[in-house]
Chains A and B, each alone.
Chain A
Amino acid sequence: MIEVKSVSKSFGRLKALENVSFKVGNGEIVGYVGLNGAGKTTTIRIAVGVLPPDSGDVFIDGLSITREKKKASEKIGWVPELPIFETDFKALDYYVYLAGYYGIPAAEARKMGKEALEVFGLGNALDMKLATYSQGMKKRFALAVSLINDPPNFIFDEVLNGLDPQGIVFFRDLAVKFKKQGKAVLFSSHILSEVEGIADKVVFIHKGRIIGVYGMNEIVNMVKPSLIVRVDKTVEALNILEKYGHVENRGDHLVVSSPAVPPNEIVKTLVENGFNVLEVRNEERSLEEFFFNLIKERGG
């Protein structure tokens, strides 16, 4: 279980995180969604122990990452958005080197490394320098290293960025597999639809503050379709349609968000008031709209 408790962090005058708290339970995938610069990576860097928080703490299976760093780090794996390694290392050598921090002897680590890198599609690149690896290869390498001791908690930080469709499917499937294995998985992204289908719940962060925590089902339920109406006199129709919900004038047509009555009643009213109804159709509201509305409502 990953428990982020009242974490705050500032860089100079910039408040990167302000009292951030949330939990990722075992066997659960939590999406961590926010715009670029919202504070997702800062939270994750604090959670994996590479950045000290100003206040608050992160507990990995009950172990404080600030006070029991070594023990806590044994229980968490991390695939960063842009993994950066020491460039002069060859992949297998770096694996062996990092395995040393897990107390694994060199010969055993070498054997483990060959197998792990083979599993993650890097079997042909064992002796290549890490500097020559592509982003996708680096992420796979980071994954292989993070799985050295098969930790019960895992964090994917914007891991789908820059990946080809095959890579995207690989990491999404992996997250689901981890969930089935009972691991706690935090899956960060700046696109809500990326976590749709895999996340059990989504934590939204904006400008360093948590602006909402919703179950995925809850989000889907809240995302109701809008009604698109095209009439001959758009401006005049606006006053009538406002009775049924929030109306947005998009020039040649109007959009009624979450209309309170069925579409046929709206059409009937318009016709009775002398409008020529040229087009009426439902518009599926996207998850991103939900996200942006959330930012608008709670983001300040």
Chain B
Amino acid sequence: MNPVFYDFKRAFLRPVTLIALAVFILAGIGLSYLVSISLSTRIGDFYSEFLAKLNLETGEFTLYYNIYDLEGKPLLANVETTLSVFNKISEFTPENEQPVKRFSFTAKGYYVFKTTLEKSVIETLANPDMDVFLKIASSTPLGYWEIGKVLLKLNGSEAVTSDPMILFIPASDIKLPIFSAGHVFLRDDELIISVLIEPPGQGFQLYFAISSDETTPDINNATLVGDVSTGLNVYRVNLSDFNVNITTETIIKLFLKSSESGTYSSDMFRIIRLETGRTQREITGIVVGSPALEMFSQFFPIVMLYLAYALVAKPKGIGALEFLIARPVTRWEVYFTRFVAGVLTALVSAGVFLATSNVGIVLLTGYGIESSHVVTLFIGVTGSLIAFYSLCYMLSTVVSGGKYLAVSIFLYLFFTIIMNIIVFIIAYLIYGLTPRLGEEVLGLQYISYYFNPLEFTKLCNLFREQGLYILAQYRRFPWSIHT
């Protein structure tokens, strides 16, 4: 076996390494839960839509539900719906709400919930003195959102509501409007129209028209996007074929047309530009500022310190390297092999820790850390471990045994505690108790990162942020970079 791999095996499969790694894997799993809880307990950042219909005679209740994440991908949601009634003359407050029926279901994107309500429930809901209120609470990995809507009793037998409501108004006054819910998204050059609808007849087709000025588009300059069926209708339109420039001012209008029923038109509404990577960025933000990552960067170097002791300082101290050096190998090769073994241990340990954390986050939320930031974190964490290991290793080749342990432990404490204290003292001595002190301490801390192997992770994040800032500036004002 190649001695490098043997030494790596010895270093990695050492109880101290495995125990520390197990602890940090647990911390990584904890981090996954932290991210999951942080995301799921906030106000939801997603796009949900629903269309509810209640037949007050038969008791048939149909709920068309659909939910997207910020990138327009189907999202997992636990949905709780409550049908309540309010007395029309009383104040519309939670105290006056009388829940009548509750349902719950789990949706992965689109879901149709159908049930038939009991007669007693129907009687309550059909009471003309009462408003029927539908509350939908969606719990997702990306947060929680609750919305309530009054069901409009269109005629004696049907009540309906939707959100976000797209109301198709008929050209002819004698017909009822068509309730629907949906969004229009823009992803690069692709227009995505998502509509939940129950068309009142056969042969309906959906048209769209875009306007970037104040003019109201009509059906004559609208474009056909497809046939309409009951439930979720998703249409994708490549805008590059239309030569239009979508801005924040651009509005869209939808039309429904059928040869039997005529034309229906919606209100004008704005197009939502889908954001790629926002959830991942938020997850990354939580991970970067999390104690688990900080702990790994700060405490795993103790394992590296020990590895330098076990691989070099200790055998060198007792003279055990001599027998090895008498083999067909040079002293330099022995030291290099063992250094590489430690570096591989750092790479694998950091990789396992980050992979476990990321896999845990993906399993719990469906989203991971930004892939580019995973690289930054990996470089930062491994860089931190390797930098400290290199320092300890260098030390282990000079001093052996107990002396090595004493000096390396001092160095560890110096970089984790003493250096920060020195930074505070220097900042205080230079700037005194001024309002700028906090800012200056931060500045000096950043400078100290250049001299602290254990802070390489922070330095990497800092460089990344600066790099992204410069990139963003360049994209906005490229000429400023050139000049």
Interface membership of A272, Cβ < 8 A: no
- Shortest C-beta distance, B337 to chain A (Å), equals 9
Count of chain B residues near A, Cβ 8 A: 19
Checking B2, B310, B328, B329 against A88 with a beta-carbon cut-off of 8 angstroms, the contacting residue is: B310
Check if B310 sits within 8 Å of A106, measured CB to CB: no
Within B316-333, the residues touching A (CB, 8 Å) are: 318-320, 322-330
- Chain B neighbourhood of A109, CB < 8 A: 1
Interface membership of A73, Cβ < 8 A: yes
Within A81-123, the residues touching B (CB, 8 Å) are: 83-88, 96-98, 100-102, 105-106, 109
Interface membership of A29, Cβ < 8 A: no
Within B283-317, the residues touching A (CB, 8 Å) are: 310, 315
- How far apart are the CA atoms of A48 and B326 in the complex, in Å? 6
The winner among A71, A86, A98 for most chain B CB atoms within 10 A is A86
- How far apart are the CA atoms of A163 and B10 in the complex, in Å? 32
Check if B320 sits within 8 Å of A86, measured CB to CB: yes
- Shortest C-beta distance, B335 to chain A (Å), equals 14
Interface membership of A128, Cβ < 8 A: no
Interface membership of B3, Cβ < 8 A: yes
Check if B328 sits within 8 Å of A74, measured CB to CB: yes
Check if A102 sits within 8 Å of B315, measured CB to CB: no
Check if B328 sits within 8 Å of A101, measured CB to CB: yes
Interface membership of B6, Cβ < 8 A: yes
- Size category, A interface: 20 to 34
Check if B1 sits within 8 Å of A98, measured CB to CB: no
- How far apart are the CA atoms of A65 and B310 in the complex, in Å? 28
Interface membership of A285, Cβ < 8 A: no
Contacts A88-B310, A97-B6, A109-B1 given; indicate if A102 touches B320 (C-beta within 8 A): no
- How far apart are the CA atoms of A272 and B272 in the complex, in Å? 138
Contacts A84-B319, A87-B320, A97-B1 given; indicate if A102 touches B328 (C-beta within 8 A): yes
- How far apart are the CA atoms of A117 and B480 in the complex, in Å? 74
- Shortest C-beta distance, B123 to chain A (Å), equals 81
Check if B323 sits within 8 Å of A84, measured CB to CB: yes
Interface membership of A45, Cβ < 8 A: yes
The winner among B2, B10, B322 for most chain A CB atoms within 10 A is B322
- Chain B neighbourhood of A73, CB < 8 A: 326-329
- Shortest C-beta distance, A89 to chain B (Å), equals 8
The chain A residue sitting closest to B324, CB to CB, is A98
The chain B residue sitting closest to A78, CB to CB, is B326
- How far apart are the CA atoms of A83 and B321 in the complex, in Å? 11
Check if A102 sits within 8 Å of B327, measured CB to CB: yes
- Chain B neighbourhood of A98, CB < 8 A: 324, 327
Interface membership of A142, Cβ < 8 A: yes
The chain B residue sitting closest to A48, CB to CB, is B326
- Chain A neighbourhood of B326, CB < 8 A: 48-50, 73, 78
Check if B323 sits within 8 Å of A101, measured CB to CB: no
Interface membership of A70, Cβ < 8 A: yes
The chain A residue sitting closest to B318, CB to CB, is A84
Contacts A45-B322, A50-B322, A142-B323 given; indicate if A97 touches B3 (C-beta within 8 A): yes
- How far apart are the CA atoms of A128 and B147 in the complex, in Å? 70
- Chain B neighbourhood of A102, CB < 8 A: 327-328
- How far apart are the CA atoms of A73 and B331 in the complex, in Å? 12
The winner among A50, A71, A106 for most chain B CB atoms within 10 A is A50
The chain A residue sitting closest to B6, CB to CB, is A97
- How far apart are the CA atoms of A102 and B328 in the complex, in Å? 7
Interface membership of A208, Cβ < 8 A: no
Interface membership of A5, Cβ < 8 A: no
Check if B325 sits within 8 Å of A50, measured CB to CB: yes
Interface membership of A80, Cβ < 8 A: yes
Check if A71 sits within 8 Å of B328, measured CB to CB: yes
Interface membership of A69, Cβ < 8 A: yes
- Chain B neighbourhood of A50, CB < 8 A: 322, 325-326
- Shortest C-beta distance, A141 to chain B (Å), equals 10
The chain A residue sitting closest to B3, CB to CB, is A100
The chain B residue sitting closest to A99, CB to CB, is B1
The chain A residue sitting closest to B4, CB to CB, is A100
Check if B320 sits within 8 Å of A100, measured CB to CB: no
- How far apart are the CA atoms of A45 and B326 in the complex, in Å? 9
- Shortest C-beta distance, B63 to chain A (Å), equals 64
- How far apart are the CA atoms of A231 and B324 in the complex, in Å? 62
- Shortest C-beta distance, A129 to chain B (Å), equals 13
Check if A105 sits within 8 Å of B1, measured CB to CB: yes
- How far apart are the CA atoms of A161 and B260 in the complex, in Å? 112
- Chain A neighbourhood of B323, CB < 8 A: 80, 83-85, 142, 145
Check if B328 sits within 8 Å of A100, measured CB to CB: no
Check if B330 sits within 8 Å of A86, measured CB to CB: no
Check if B320 sits within 8 Å of A69, measured CB to CB: no
Check if A85 sits within 8 Å of B320, measured CB to CB: yes
Check if B322 sits within 8 Å of A84, measured CB to CB: yes
- Chain B neighbourhood of A45, CB < 8 A: 322
Check if A101 sits within 8 Å of B318, measured CB to CB: no
0/1 per residue, B347-384, Cβ < 8 Å to A? 00000000000000000000000000000000000000
Check if A70 sits within 8 Å of B322, measured CB to CB: no
0/1 per residue, B223-243, Cβ < 8 Å to A? 000000000000000000000
- Shortest C-beta distance, B72 to chain A (Å), equals 53
Check if B328 sits within 8 Å of A96, measured CB to CB: no
The chain A residue sitting closest to B327, CB to CB, is A101
The chain B residue sitting closest to A149, CB to CB, is B328
- Chain A neighbourhood of B330, CB < 8 A: 69-70
**Interchain Cβ contacts under 8 Å between A and B, 17 examples:** A50-B326, A70-B328, A70-B329, A70-B330, A73-B327, A74-B328, A80-B323, A84-B318, A88-B10, A96-B1, A96-B6, A97-B3, A98-B327, A100-B3, A101-B329, A105-B1, A109-B1
Given contacts A80-B323, A106-B1, 16 further A-B contacts (CB under 8 A): A45-B322, A48-B326, A49-B325, A69-B328, A69-B330, A70-B329, A71-B328, A73-B328, A78-B326, A83-B323, A85-B320, A87-B320, A96-B1, A101-B329, A102-B327, A105-B1
In the complex, the 5 A-B pairs of residues with the closest C-beta atoms, listed nearest first: A106-B1, A101-B327, A73-B328, A50-B322, A100-B3
